[in-house]
Every structure is written in structure tokens, then in C-alpha cells.
A = this chain, B = another copy of it.
Amino acid sequence: MREAYHVELENLATRLAEMSVQVADAMERATKALLESDLKLAEQVISDDRLVDDARADCEEQAYALLALQAPVATDLRIVLAAIHAAESLERMGDLALHVAKAARRRHPDPVLPANVQPYFADMGTIAVRLARKVEQIIKTRDVEAARSLEDDDDHVDDIHRHLFSVIMDKNWEHGVSTAVDVTLLGRFYERYADHAVSVARRMVFVVTGRMPGYSSSDA
């Protein structure tokens, strides 16, 4: 049983790594669509989201098969359940990229963001995409320490997100309520994406090493 279990777990981890690449690409394109009012790119993210949903369903099926056929216990069981949770979070990251792309499409050909907040979104986008790409690396390298660095990236996104509120709420904000609402929701989408990425990374460390990284496991 052990060998078949490990082969199947390896396949499942590979599939989750592919999902990480999908949602990293989705957020990279969605951010570019947002910053450059690129309708074609936004449409691509929107139509590709189906592939992320399909990949999540595949991952769940692989995990179900693994549970049903191998009936793992103890740590092995928890590893498979961590993979199921990771797939759910990755799908949610895809949804958040989709929301960003939809905002870009909704305002097209106008830009969604005024020039003075664009750099914040460029930064949050870069970090969010890097977080998702690190998940793939963690699976390839099984590097627990690499996973720790994700917490710093997530803190950085939180800092930018907080600062963004002070920009919107400043008395000198001159872009009106409607733009403030867009910026508020978009900021939240990036912040949630980064949170989910950290949660996925933590779970993937467990999937590939059988040990949880030594920090809080909260992923609310």
C-alpha cells in the first residue's frame, strides 16, 4: 500500500502545482488587464477560470480515489485532507483573479484605477503572483524554509492594503465615491488572494514533507 499511496500522492501534488501555475498566470494577466485596461486579456482570464474549476474537481477526484483505495490513516490521512483543502483555496484564488478581470472588463475602455493608486496594485499583483509561484517551488524543492518567506510577502500585501485605505479616505481623494468603491473591493481581492496563497503553501509543505511549518495555522 505504501508505494501506491506515495505514487498517487505525488500525482496529486503535481496536479496542485499545476493549479498554482494556473492561478498565478490568472492573477498576472488580471493585474495587467486592470492596469492597462486590456479587455482581451481580461476576457481570457474570465474564460480560463473554468479550467481552474475543472482542475479542482480533478484534484478532489484523485484525493477521493486515494482515500477510498488506500484508506490512509494518521499523518497520511491528514496529508490527503490537506491536499483537498489546498485545492479549494487554489480554486478560490482563481475566483479572486476572475473578480479582478471582471472589474477591468466592466469599466473598459476607462481605467478602473486612478494613476495615484496604480503603483499599489502593481506591487500587490507582483507579490500575489510571486506567492502563487512559490507554492509550485515548494512542491518541487520540498523546502520548508521557503514557505516561511511567504509570511513576509503576505505581511507586505497587508501593509499595502492598509495604506490603500488611508489613501482612499484622505480628504484630498479627488476621484469620487464610485472609484473608491472599486479600489476598496479590488484591494480586498488581492489581500484575500495573498492570504489563501499562504494557507496553500503551508498545506503543501505538509503534503510534501508530512510536517507542518512552525507557525500559526490560521487561514481565516
Chain A residues within 8 Å of B, Cβ to Cβ: 53, 64, 67-68, 71, 73-74, 77-78, 81, 84-85, 88, 91-92, 95, 165, 168-169, 173, 176-178, 180-181, 184-185, 188, 218, 220
Q: Is the CB of A165 within 8 A of B181?
A: yes
Contacts of A218 in B (CB 8 A): 53
Contacts of A165 in B (CB 8 A): 181
Q: Copies of this chain, how many?
A: 2
Contacts of A91 in B (CB 8 A): 220
Q: How far is the CA of A185 from the CA of B181 in the complex (A)?
A: 9
A12 to chain B, nearest CB (A): 14
In the complex, which of the residues B73, B169, B185, B220 contacts A178, with contact meaning CB atoms closer than 8 Å? B169
Give 18 A-B pairs besides A84-B84, A181-B181 with Cβ atoms closer than 8 angstroms.
Answer: A53-B220, A64-B77, A64-B78, A64-B81, A67-B81, A68-B74, A68-B77, A71-B71, A92-B220, A95-B220, A168-B178, A169-B177, A169-B178, A176-B177, A180-B180, A184-B184, A185-B188, A188-B188
In the complex, which of the residues B77, B85, B177 contacts A177, with contact meaning CB atoms closer than 8 Å? B177
Q: Is the CB of B178 within 8 A of A181?
A: no
Q: How far is the CA of A67 from the CA of B75 in the complex (A)?
A: 12
Q: How far is the CA of A119 from the CA of B88 in the complex (A)?
A: 34
Known contacts A169-B177, A177-B168, A184-B181; is-contact A81 B78 (Cβ 8 Å):
no
User: Could you list some 14 contacts between A and B, CB below 8 A?
Assistant: A53-B220, A67-B67, A67-B81, A68-B73, A85-B88, A88-B88, A91-B220, A95-B220, A165-B181, A168-B181, A169-B181, A173-B177, A177-B180, A184-B185
